[in-house]
Amino acid sequence: MDGSDRATEHAPSSGNLRVNAPDRETVNDPRVPDSATQSGNPSISPRIPASRPILFLSLALTGGIADLWSKAFIFSWRGLPSENDIWWIVEGYLGVETTVNIGAVFGLGAGKGTLFAAFSVIAALGISVWLFWFKAAISLWLTTALGLISGGIIGNLYDRLGLWWESGYPVEWQSGVRDWILFQIPGVPFFDPWPNFNIADSLLMVGAGMLLYQSFFPGPLADSNLEITQNASHSEDLGSGAS
């Protein structure tokens, strides 16, 4: 038997050659990376869960409405600044006192109300683009944080635009923000007193704190968000396949 005969003997017959094709479920399983994902093909990316826009809008609108309603109620109840004394909730520490902030958060940047209003509009547009164009909304943490920040923007932007201002009020209040929460710790520098604030300021600070936390601890949050998104996408694929 020569070399060609031995090669023919060991070569598999084309009639018996079988290639096992992956089943549909394996192909759609997000836990099995495809070649495009491994190669970093940007044309293939996770989908934003349908619940993310709902969550974002719910937080933004609820936060904005809560802030505007609370300011209208408190100013109707306690009057304009200096019209009534402080109404204490916790004597000497936490109370209600109406003020008008003509600066930014916590009184910073006084007299720049129009500039802050323009910045707020730009920030709101940037948040929308970041979430839904660049798909940051895949992250539940980022969606929540930016929803809270957007609620704060809505509440304070309403005041910055002078929509609450009435004829007879001081002109400088026209781009000012209504504040009513008084907090202080007597004898402690920087907290004696803390500048008055409102619900919108609180939403902004909580949202910013969440962003700061993720910047320091991105790993666990990113992994959990990716897993949730993959599971949701996999469920949708199975559902569409069954139909």
What positions carry a catalytic annotation? 179, 201
Locate all alpha helices (DSSP H) within 79-160, ordered by sequence: 113-132, 140-160
Q: Are 170 and 83 in contact (CB under 8 A)?
A: no
**Please, how many CA atoms are within 13 Å of residue 1, restricted to the half-sphere of its CB?**
6
Counting runs of H as helices and runs of E as strands, what totals does the chain give? 8, 4
Distance CA 136, CA 55 (A): 13
Tokens 């500039």 sit on residue = 115
Q: Are 151 and 62 in contact (CB under 8 A)?
A: yes
Tokens of 225: 């968000």
Tokens 């402690």 sit on residue = 188
Distance CA 191, CA 106 (A): 12
**34 CB-contact burial (10 Å; exposed 0-12 / middle 13-18 / buried 19+):** exposed
E strand intervals along the chain:
87-90, 94-101, 177-183, 194-197
